[in-house]
Chain A
Amino acid sequence: MSLAFYVAGGVAALAALLAVTRANAVHSLLYLILSLLAIAVVFLTLGAPFAAALQVIINAGAIMVMFVFVIMLINPGPRSVRREKRRLGLRVWIVPGLIGAVLFAELVYVIGLGRQSAAADVGPEEMALALFGPYGAAIELVSLLLLAGLLGAYHLARRETPGKGE
């Protein structure tokens, strides 16, 4: 199980490094998604299945999808399509394929190994008891924060009038 941590951590760090050094925005986003999924595996090895599930659903799922949509809105055009077609050969698949294969092999190994002793796993039940108990007020504040984010994004994305005069 400790080996899974090092392998997943290595994949996450390498994918993050690749994400910040690519020239193509979509490549960076895809490497970032891979990095976030590897971080979810790290959470699993640390005995935090709830955090791993949340990481996959919210971070790698919702947030990265938003990124991809915005990139789609900002960088369209036949010029970029021609550039992409010129770049897409067999050579560009070597590194991503290697990274994906390593993560895949590790997942197969860990699943085939069977479940380790879950004595100290902090699962959803303890999380729920804590969230509805001592951290209840903080959850309300987080909902206020999300509302503020929603209103801010809506206001910034409006097309009719710029925000200067309001």
Chain B
Amino acid sequence: MLANAPSPEHALAFAVILFAIGLAGVLARRDFIYMLLSVEIMLSAAGVAFVAAGARWAQPDGQIMFIFILSMAAAEIAVGLALAIRLFHMFHTLDVDVLRQMRD
């Protein structure tokens, strides 16, 4: 570990705080873009947890898991944003409550 690195418990606590903020955002916001945004925050929090774990043992595995999470987030957001554009063109709204009632 680095000489002055923060303790892994504090790093994990930071990851948990970020994850909770993202989770609150997903649950509270009723717009599709904001939900994607909040999921992005949650994925970053998971990445922080992995990197902190890898830093604890000074091994590259934590950063490798972070690379995988990053790639998965990129693919997911690409598809999610394409879906958002398609939804907006079809229904002219991104309000999830309104979209939920348009089932056909």
Contacts and interface: CB of A to CB of B under 8 A. Distances in A.
Task: Bin the interface of chain A by size.
Answer: 35 or more
Interface string B68-94: 101111111111011111101010001
A46 interface: yes
B2 A42 contact: no
Interface string B40-53: 11001001100110
Contacts of A129: 60
Interface in A8-49: 9, 12-13, 16-17, 19-20, 25, 28-29, 32, 35-36, 39, 42-43, 45-48
A50 to B, nearest CB: 6
A84 to B, nearest CB: 17
A32 B14 contact: no
Contacts, number: 195
A157 B59 CA distance: 40
Interface string B15-43: 00110011011001101011011101100
Interface of A: 1-2, 5-6, 9, 12-13, 16-17, 19-20, 25, 28-29, 32, 35-36, 39, 42-43, 45-48, 50-51, 54-55, 58-59, 62-63, 66-67, 70-71, 73-74, 116-122, 126-127, 129-131, 135, 138, 142, 145-146, 148-150, 152-154, 156-157, 162
Interface of B: 1-6, 10-11, 14, 17-18, 21-22, 24-25, 28-29, 31, 33-34, 36-38, 40-41, 44, 47-48, 51-52, 54-55, 58-64, 66-68, 70-79, 81-86, 88, 90, 94
5 shortest interchain CB distances as A-B pairs: A149-B75, A20-B25, A1-B4, A156-B82, A153-B82
